[in-house]
Homo-oligomer: A and B are copies of this chain.
Amino acid sequence: MANRVITISRQFGSGGRTVGRMTAMKLGIPCYDQELIQKVAEESGFAERYIQERGEELSSGGWLTAAFTDREYNGLSLQDSLWLAQRNVILDLAKKGPCVIVGRCADFILRDEADCLKAFIHADMKQRAERIVTQYGERAASPEKRLKDKDKRRAAYYQFYTDMRWGAMENYDISLDSGTFGIEKCAEILANLY
């Protein structure tokens, strides 16, 4: 049987990344997040920073940029090349063994390739705003605007490559409000379901 993988999609500032790490720790399996970005960088030649941002968010120009201005000689936009590199790395990691993968449309990429538990972590605006200011060190000026912008870009990227709606509960096995339960409890729930 295919390896058991937990994919974690998350709203920006919901602490989904930490939920992923904690879940993996509880289960004694690897969690791929920053490591995934490093691997994609190694295999594709893209800079880590570029992958970090452009590997799950559409830039301001959105698909128009991707479609018309961002072309390489081989006919693929940079964004599409990154998508393909990232996709290959995710497929490889899932083949290697059980793991937790955070973000990057892994739920969609692995839908037919692994035995996935697809989770989505969300929280209300107020709690996320607090989190990005205190934990991520974001500027305190209008964090709500920043959150909305990040969510919008992630949603647009997801929709563009998967043709499904990001954050629509139908696409996930379980969705959890990290503000209600706390990060630790969310990880416990997921580890128990594994």
Contact = CB atoms under 8 A, between A and B. Distances in A.
Nearest to A168: B169
Given A193-B181, A193-B189, A172 B175 contact: yes
Contacts of A170: 122, 124, 177
A174 B173 CA distance: 10
Interface in A98-124: 120, 122, 124
Contacts of A174: 174-177, 180-181
Interface string A165-194: 001111011111100110000000100010
Nearest to A170: B122
Interface in A58-106: none
Interface string A13-45: 000000000000000000000000000000000
B181 A177 contact: no
Contact of A176 (B167, B168, B173, B180): B173
A15 to B, nearest CB: 15
A54 to B, nearest CB: 26
Contacts of A177: 170, 172-174
Given A189-B189, A193-B189, A181 B173 contact: yes
A173 B169 contact: no
B189 A122 contact: no
Contacts of A173: 176-177, 180-181
Nearest to A179: B173
Given A122-B169, A124-B170, 11 more contacts: A122-B170, A167-B169, A169-B169, A169-B175, A173-B176, A173-B180, A174-B175, A174-B177, A174-B180, A175-B175, A189-B193
Top 9 A-B residue pairs of the complex, sorted by shortest distance between their CB atoms: A175-B175, A173-B180, A169-B175, A169-B169, A173-B177, A174-B176, A122-B169, A122-B170, A167-B169
